[in-house]
Structure 1
Amino acid sequence: MATHQHSSRYGRYTGGPDPLAPPVDLAEALDAVAEDVMAGYSPRRALREYLRRGSRNRPGLDQLAGRVQQRRRELLNRHRLDGTLEEVRRLLDDAVLAERKQLARDAAMDDTDRAFREMQLENLPPSTAAAVNELASYDWQSGEAQEAYERIKDLLGRELLDQRFAGMKQALEGATAEDREAVEEMLRELNELLEAHRRGEDTAEDFQGFMARHGGFFPENPQSVDELIDVLARRAAAAQRLMQSMSAEQREELMRLSAQAFGSPALMSQLDALDANLQALRPGEDWSGSEQFQGREGLGLGDGTGVLQDLAELDGLAEQLAQSYHGSTLDDLDLDALARQLGPDAAVSARTLADIERAMQDGGYLRRGADGDLRLSPQAMRRLGKSLLRDTARQLSHRTGARDTRAAGAAGEPAGSSRAWQFGDAEPWDVTRTLTNAITRTAADGGNPADGLHLAVGDIEVAETEARTRAAVVLLADVSFSMAAEGRWVPMKRTALALHHLVSTRFRGDRLQLVTFGLRAQSMDIEALTALPADREQGTNLHHGLLLAGRFFHQHRSLQPVLLVVTDGEPTAHLMPDGEPWFSWPPDGQTIAATVAELDRLGRAGTQVTFFRLGDDPGLERFVAGMARRIGGRVVAPDAGDLGAAVLGEYLRTHLHGDDGGISLSL
């Protein structure tokens, strides 16, 4: 029995958005947006910058815009606009040559008549249009010559129609007299419809009747008279720009040649009326622009008009990709036009960028604040904090002597409560609650728990724990301008966000306060700190920051006070009794004394203090070293990129009773 082998071929899906494509991954976009926000951009601008840059595997708006401009240059540098004139000149030369050969062969012709005809052919004007018009009444002796001349009139008619109706040049090739009469009838009725529309006297039935009779001329299949006008006006405006892009001599030649189109002056009359109607109905189209073509490939009138339409479409895409107009969004992108001009891959990339923009706003990662501007939402902050904490944990895990805080029990003692299990949790199960959930679910589904239970993920609950040492933690972050100038601004914010996420998810019994200090100090939430711009403000008012830290510790007297100070400069400002800051550089003795006195008060209250010294300033090194000795604190001097791991490592150390061993965090 014969066997048949069947083979299948697989390729990229081309029917629009891939129905099997995975959902848009926002992790990379969120990280990039948040990074720019922390660097001082607004969330709106940060999102715009990400969409412009794109990613490693996806072109952004700028790259797509660059391809649009490259495509535009290619069209202008490839083409020139004298294709129709060249073809007419070739046909004219063919006709004249065939006629001369016929005159030379015709022995029966009167010599005087032959001489007269040869003189007519010899003295034709150099202008192609003038020569064609002069031969309009010539009595051709050669059938081949007459056929070539008739092809000139046919070509001109088809080209002029192709300017207004794409595809007419090919559709009317070899057309009969009846075909040309049908075109003239269509033009006459079209102008009547447009004139009635201008007066407001047309009806839907008028349009439907016109399309029933002449719909074959309009492959775009417009569904209303306005759609029909839009299609025709775009094409007619491109035809006008084509003429404006020609030299004055070329325009004059074509205008004079147009009288010979199909040998029918009525055709030009109808086309002129059509242009007038369309220009009146759509004055907003570009009817007077021009382009500079510099290529070698000649274009006919119809093809040239198509190229002018392509250029206009590319200009529209460039404006859409620039997103510089009020209220612009990527939903404005014409994906069909992008696919036509740059290929389907470009349209897929643009669609993905639009999906990211929409998902970032509709998915809850950006929200509008009271001022109407966009902000990173709490959901975005949690996701970003988790990502930063994971990065920091990876850094901690590479430290010498590292150990897992979970294995060491840093998560603490049971708190007496439970919560739903989440991916990555390693806390012990709350067996009672887990079984109760399974029994309740089984009964609700109509089953009998006595017949046996099958656990589902949603049934599982884990026992919540509290840190063995509950702490009130203050992160004092230097926000003087030197932090931004020296590249420490973003690492400081990343550190604060990672610490905030760690405390809020793993050490819920702790209390964390973020305090920034520049010329003044202020307490702020993580959203405000993340969006804080870098101001050119002089002053390192550690004194004011310590005052706010002491106030926070006083509010949480039952917790172990932990102070983490991140700074890159000596104190240069302190708070006066009237509440105003006082600045001095070099550091003044009063500023140092006020700062030391406040630090001493915190030390006497049992505060565990760690200084994170950024940079190699000798004065700062002496100051923090002296303060650490004075109150039994610690000094850590990390690189900016290692700041997060250093701060979180010190925070975790406070929960391990002062153990100085290496610490890592498993997530």
Structure 2
Amino acid sequence: MARTNRRLTRDSRYGKYVDGPDPLAPPVDLAEALDAIGEDVMAGSSPEQALREFLRRGGAERAGLDDLARQVAERRRELASKHNLDGTLQEIRQLLDRAVLAERKQLARDALMDEGDRALSEMQLDNLSPSPAAAVSELNGYDWKSSDAHADFEKIKDLLGREMLDQRFAGMKQALENASDEDRAAITAMLGDLNTLLDAHKRGEDTPEQFDEFMAKHSGFFPENPSTIDELLDTLAQRAAAAQRMRNSMTQEQRDELDALAQEAFGSPELMESLAELDGNLQSLRPGENWDGSEGMNGEQGLGLGDGTGVFQDLADLDALSEQLSQGYNGSRIDDLDLETLSRQLGEQAAVDARTLQQLERALRDSGTMKRASDGSLKLTPKAMRQLGKALLRDVAEKMSGRQGNRDLRQAGAAGERSGATREWAFGDTEPWDVTRTITNAITRTAGLGGAGPRGPGVRIEIGDVEVQETEARTQACVALLVDTSFSMAMDGRWVPMKRTALALHTLITSRFRGDELQLIGFGRHAEVMDIDQIVGLDAMWDKGTNLHHALLLANRHFRKHPNAQPVLLIVTDGEPTSHLEPNGEVFFSYPPHPLTVAHAVRELDTSMRLGAQTSFFRLGDDPGLARFIDSMARRVGGSVVAPEADDLGAAVVSSYLGSRGGPAAGGGGGGFDDMFGRGWGRWAG
């Protein structure tokens, strides 16, 4: 039995999974998509627009809709520039020239032929019309002396019949090569029954039994195996419409030649009459198909009628794919993409890329990162905001680590700083267990019982065995982050860094320092307290005024609500205060800054100092007036000033916050980074 198993294992072969998406394929990675979407949202796009833009661009190693659309356009240009529509006429000319040449050779070899008959035949051949259609008509009554020439001439009629049928029923040209009279009779019978069925369907008088009877009799002509008359109609109408578009794309001379030649198809006009009736039925039943289009085909490779119809079907498929990939029509969804057609036209990899995009969009919606609001718009969920914040904090960690000598940020952290001592666990303790001490206590207690616990041999941990690691008490902070939302922030490229900073600090405090109280305050012409999703989605507006006075009023109110916490005041701005609140609640604005506006801001900053706030200013830009104002304000309250580049703003604010928690503001927060950032939350951020 073991030998059999080994043989089966050795002989096993695994192929490609063909029934839908591969169940063993790795799940799609949402991190890159969420980062890109979040960046666009912060820059002012709606979540819906940001999602669509990411799907269009794709990822670093993932094709997007624009890449697929480019491939579709290239494939379409290749088809249109490669072919021309003269293939059938060229083939007829070749057969005609070959037949005439063979006949001339036979006339020259036939010594027994009457000279008058030879001269008459040669004169008839010499005076043939240059038009293939007219020449074929002129030779219809010709008495061929060469059997090979006669066979080639008859091939012209056979070719025309097969090409005409191949236009409507793919594969007929090959299937009917060397067709017998019985084969032709079967075609005639099928076309008659088909037109009868379609006539009845037009009148609403057809029945499922009639369709089943038709398919039972003629199923060999329909390899698509349609199960309903509508499926049959769709297949026939799409190909017939492509044939009509091919005809529309020909020159008038080409159309006239083919129309004249078509009367000779299979040596009888009956075929064309049946096909014309079929085309009329299909146009009546499927008017929505594109029957009027045309295409410029100026390539070197001639297309026969059947092959050309297939190319025009390909062009129609590519046009449909282009529209699907554009996602520009009402109600468009990425699930509209026809993966089967995409694979057929561009190859399997294109279908894999499109399916990945579909899975990515579904994953973003189903994973709880995006949801529909009551107004139908797409919104980022709190879960998405947390994930974005974590990514931003990782960036901040890398920047801060690089500036501080590449410290390792992946060390363990706890609710406070570990003292190195342990103690017995008591109800309400949240400190981490000391696992080594806990297991040692359990082993010692078990050994004292003779090596067995009350329930048998083995070591069992009881509540009394547990020891926890002692941590030093940590100060609770009450944090107010004041961010300038005046138009100059957006105009000078500081809008997104400001939002990234707010989100990074919000994520750090809500995830690592949950005891701290953070309030985000945006200030332009006036100030307001903002939720994190509100500030992340905030659009830049032309808002004259930088109302630091109002922002400080709100910050001081926040500090007073938490009298036992350490106040931390963080102010991000790129301009001097130019507006303040009047006693009646109206906003006063003046540029250059009015002394009264400055006095109001200074008064509230003094209040923050009296409340014990540790203050840090983050000055953006190189305005000398702003630099003098902020330096004087910082000196007045014993605060610090940082002038970061826009991309370093997040790291600067987080570092200052951590420094304010760890000790006095003087020194710019360096000690806080060493003591708290490097050893505390780094494992979480990593």
- Please give the TM-score of this superposition, normalised by the length of structure 2: 0.88
CA deviation profile, 1:435-475 (whole Å, cap 9, x unmatched) = 9xxxxxxxxxxxx97665899xxxx9999989711111110
**Are the equivalent residues in 1 in contact too, given 2:575–2:626 (CA < 8 A)?**
yes
User: Structure 2 CA distance, aligned partners of 1:383 and 1:449?
Assistant: 46
Query: What SS class does the counterpart of residue 572 from structure 2 fall into?
Result: strand
Residue 299 of structure 1: how far off its partner (Å): 0.5
- Bigger drift between 584-593 and 283-292 goes to 584-593
Residue 12 of structure 1: how far off its partner (Å): 6.5
Query: What SS class does the counterpart of residue 496 from structure 1 fall into?
Result: helix
CA deviation profile, 1:246-266 (whole Å, cap 9, x unmatched) = 111001100110011111211
- Bigger drift between 313-322 and 177-186 goes to 177-186
Query: What SS class does the counterpart of residue 243 from structure 1 fall into?
Result: helix
Q: Which among 594, 597, 600 is matched to residue 606 of structure 2? A: 600
User: Structure 2 CA distance, aligned partners of 1:58 and 1:306?
Assistant: 31
Would you say 1:539 and 2:552 are equivalent positions? no
Give 2:109's aligned residue: 105
CA distance 1:407–1:287, change in 2 (3 Å): closer
**Are the equivalent residues in 1 in contact too, given 2:547–2:577 (CA < 8 A)?**
yes
Question: Unpaired segments of 5 or more residues in structure 2?
Answer: 1-6, 419-424, 440-453
Would you say 1:411 and 2:406 are equivalent positions? no
Give 1:277's aligned residue: 281
CA distance 1:648–1:40, change in 2 (3 Å): same
User: Structure 1 CA distance, aligned partners of 2:460 and 2:484?
Assistant: 54
User: Structure 1 CA distance, aligned partners of 2:474 and 2:96?
Assistant: 100
CA deviation profile, 1:273-316 (whole Å, cap 9, x unmatched) = 11000000000000011000111000000000000000010000
CA distance 1:70–1:462, change in 2 (3 Å): farther
Q: How many residues align?
A: 640
User: Structure 2 CA distance, aligned partners of 1:411 and 1:68?
Assistant: 59
Would you say 1:229 and 2:233 are equivalent positions? yes
Query: What SS class does the counterpart of residue 136 from structure 1 fall into?
Result: coil
**Are the equivalent residues in 2 in contact too, given 1:415–1:463 (CA < 8 A)?**
no
CA distance 1:96–1:451, change in 2 (3 Å): farther
**Are the equivalent residues in 1 in contact too, given 2:396–2:651 (CA < 8 A)?**
yes
Letter in 2 for 1:201: E
Q: Which among 368, 389, 393 is matched to residue 389 of structure 1? A: 393
Give 1:137's aligned residue: 141
Would you say 1:483 and 2:489 are equivalent positions? yes
Would you say 1:637 and 2:643 are equivalent positions? yes
Residue 223 of structure 1: how far off its partner (Å): 1.2
**Are the equivalent residues in 1 in contact too, given 2:128–2:135 (CA < 8 A)?**
yes
Give 2:263's aligned residue: 259
CA deviation profile, 1:222-256 (whole Å, cap 9, x unmatched) = 11100000000000000000000011100110011
**Are the equivalent residues in 2 in contact too, given 1:474–1:513 (CA < 8 A)?**
yes
User: Structure 1 CA distance, aligned partners of 2:62 and 2:20?
Assistant: 18
Query: What SS class does the counterpart of residue 264 from structure 2 fall into?
Result: helix
**Are the equivalent residues in 2 in contact too, given 1:39–1:490 (CA < 8 A)?**
yes
User: Structure 1 CA distance, aligned partners of 2:331 and 2:455?
Assistant: 58
User: Structure 2 CA distance, aligned partners of 1:99 and 1:485?
Assistant: 85
User: Structure 2 CA distance, aligned partners of 1:129 and 1:93?
Assistant: 13
Give 1:336's aligned residue: 340
- Alignment map for 1:285-300 (pairs within 5 Å): 285-300=289-304
Give 1:91's aligned residue: 95
**Are the equivalent residues in 2 in contact too, given 1:417–1:464 (CA < 8 A)?**
no
**Are the equivalent residues in 2 in contact too, given 1:518–1:538 (CA < 8 A)?**
yes
Give 1:494's aligned residue: 500
User: Structure 2 CA distance, aligned partners of 1:59 and 1:405?
Assistant: 34
**Are the equivalent residues in 2 in contact too, given 1:222–1:228 (CA < 8 A)?**
yes
Give 1:655's aligned residue: 661
Residue 397 of structure 1: how far off its partner (Å): 2.1
Query: What SS class does the counterpart of residue 145 from structure 2 fall into?
Result: coil
**Are the equivalent residues in 2 in contact too, given 1:33–1:50 (CA < 8 A)?**
yes
CA distance 1:404–1:154, change in 2 (3 Å): closer
Residue 108 of structure 1: how far off its partner (Å): 2.6
- Please give the TM-score of this superposition, normalised by the length of structure 1: 0.91
- Identity among equivalent pairs (%): 62
User: Structure 2 CA distance, aligned partners of 1:541 and 1:24?
Assistant: 45
- Bigger drift between 9-18 and 32-41 goes to 9-18
CA distance 1:311–1:219, change in 2 (3 Å): same
Residue 133 of structure 1: how far off its partner (Å): 1.5
CA deviation profile, 1:555-602 (whole Å, cap 9, x unmatched) = 222222111001111111112222222222221212111111111111
**Are the equivalent residues in 1 in contact too, given 2:414–2:432 (CA < 8 A)?**
no
**Are the equivalent residues in 2 in contact too, given 1:43–1:375 (CA < 8 A)?**
yes
Give 1:610's aligned residue: 616
- Bigger drift between 569-578 and 154-163 goes to 569-578
Give 1:646's aligned residue: 652
- Alignment map for 1:8-87 (pairs within 5 Å): 16-87=20-91
